[in-house]
Amino acid sequence: MIQQTGATPASGVVQRAPDKPAAEKEKAPFRDCTEATTMNSNPRRALIQALDLAQRFVNGAIGKLEIDPEVESKGSSYRVALERHFLNPSKAQRMGILSVFKAIYEKLNPETFAAPRTIKSWRRARRILGATSPPS
């Protein structure tokens, strides 16, 4: 980036603006997730644990959805889960569900997490998650 100094372009000195530090170029992991915004004394550890758990669940679902349920026994947990949660989907529907889980997995990284900055955004997040009481 070129930056000009002085009142007019003709009067000033042309100089190169310094690059931003690498930390500013990329989104910081768990952006704005501090004790004040999360009400947790160690938010980074809690978020890493939650992220790890979510990644394992989603990765497990991806691995199972790639398997034809017909090769599993009738009462297997995989077949029961497909019947109960997805109403016994066809192969095409199962592949659609698989693509959604893959898209979810791609979003499960620390750079996509950010704490709400305002009370309004807290309330919106709590409504989405089904929480009933507003934050204090």
Which pLDDT score is estimated for 18? 60
Distances in whole angstroms, Cα of residue 18 to Cα of each of 3, 7, 10, 59, 127: 10, 21, 22, 42, 43
Measured between alpha carbons, how far is 78 from 86 in angstroms, rounded to an integer? 11
Which pLDDT score is estimated for 14? 57
Which pLDDT score is estimated for 10? 54
Q: Encoding tokens for residue 5?
A: 């100094």
Which pLDDT score is estimated for 81? 92
Locus of tokens 């989104």: 27
Distances in whole angstroms, Cα of residue 2 to Cα of each of 8, 23, 25, 26, 58: 15, 21, 18, 21, 46
Write the Ramachandran bin of 74: left for phi over 0, alpha for psi from -120 to 50, otherwise beta: alpha
Q: Which tens digit of pLDDT belongs to each residue from 73-82?
A: 999 999 999 9
Which pLDDT score is estimated for 1? 47
Domain boundaries, the chain: 33-116
Which pLDDT score is estimated for 112? 78
Q: For residue 108, which of 62, 42, 66, 76 has the smallest C-alpha distance?
A: 62
Which pLDDT score is estimated for 127? 76
Residue 31 β-bridge partners = 114
* Whole-structure pTM value: 0.62
Three-state secondary-structure class, residue 4: strand
Q: Which tens digit of pLDDT belongs to each residue from 28-42?
A: 788 778 887 777 888
Where the chain has pLDDT below 70, the residues are 1-27, 116, 128-136
Q: What count of residues does the chain have? A: 136
Which pLDDT score is estimated for 29? 80
What sign for the dihedral angle of Cα 114, 117, 122, 125?
A: negative
